[in-house]
Amino acid sequence: MGNALRIAYGGFALAVALKAACYSVPSGYHLYSFMGNYLGPASVDRCLYARVRDVRQTRSFATRHVEVYQVLDSDSEASKANQAPKERICLFATSDFHIQEPAGTLLSYHCPPRREGGYTHHTLCPAKSRTAADLLAAGKISQSTHDAFTAAFALNSSLFDIKMCPEGIFAQNLSGHAKSLPHSQDHLPLPSRTSADWFRATGELPSQTEQLAALAFYADGALSFCPLSFSHMYLEDSGACSSLDFSLRVFGDVDLERWHLREVGTHVGAQGRTYSEAWIWDEEGRAVACMSQQSILRVLPGKGKGKL
């Protein structure tokens, strides 16, 4: 999932927190805002737990605070020392819910993708695996690069059908794994560069809670490293590259069993941080959600700073 270290993909903690918040509110309340901070990486060998606090509950709105944590010591170790197990908080989130407005919507409008002319429809895009295979067959990447890309995103590919739009940078350089390849947006300034993909869940998502958890899981991907991938660099070219905070805004019901388009872009790089954003639309062009994040992007020790 694009991690250079042996730590859990941030989307796991996001999904756990979001589901915990959704389960804590009465029926009829719909998530519209989910924002917070990553407080530390989650270990891949320990379970994630969630704690929810009721902050607001009115006839129209509900707000919950959620902590996602891991237990550092097993219960047996703690009991021997007659101590409570130690916990490490990985994520803190504020979740806001709103009932369906009885009078409906005064104005209804949706922004389009940033790229002029849009992107190729999913019916004409090859599967993500085919995109990588075609680059290999054309001699543009090595077998080791192909295999590294396939392994890095194997989990995501098992949960979602993914088709990378050929106009996007990720389809041309395999999300940065083939960083030396030229791409069609090299002439554009970094904040004007974009990548896009179509995706849908491979399994059934029987409730809005499951749908939203899957949305948060997928939307977290690529935002921390897209500035590198857009700049002919990848994770090994930075001293640290990881999401610091997140803001997921949801604009209505979600059905990820159907195809959705995600567009990724970055807006600011300064003070050792980047600010990037992903928008998600359904096939009808309705904006479903927006995920924005600030991420740490440290200079690799011994190297000069890059221009973002």
Rounded Cα gap, residues 26 and 264, in angstroms: 34
Mean pLDDT of 20-49: 96
How long a stretch of residues is the chain?
A: 308
Mean pLDDT of 6-30: 95
Q: Residue 253: what residue type? A: D
Provide the pLDDT for residue 5.
58
> Structure tokens of 305?
């700073």
Report residue 274's pLDDT band, with 50, 70 and 90 as the boundaries: very high
- Residue whose structure tokens are 């409570």: 84
Question: Which residues partner with 35 through β-bridges?
Answer: 94, 247
Rounded Cα gap, residues 205 and 220, in angstroms: 18
Of all residues in the chain, what percent are helix, strand and coil, respectively (each to 5)?
A: 25, 35, 40
Provide the pLDDT for residue 103.
87
Report residue 165's pLDDT band, with 50, 70 and 90 as the boundaries: very high
Provide the pLDDT for residue 79.
59
The dihedral formed by the CA atoms of 135, 149, 192 and 187, expressed in degrees to the nearest 10: -40
Calculate the average pLDDT of the chain: 94
- Residue whose structure tokens are 């029987």: 206
pLDDT at 3 over 60: no
Dump pLDDT digits (tens) for 191-220: 999 999 999 999 999 999 999 999 999 999
Determine which of 60-74, 134-148, 262-276 has the lowest per-residue pLDDT on average: 60-74
Contact between 170 and 194 (Cβ < 8 Å): no
Provide the pLDDT for residue 302.
77
pLDDT at 173 over 90: yes
H-run or E-run covering 21: helix 10-23
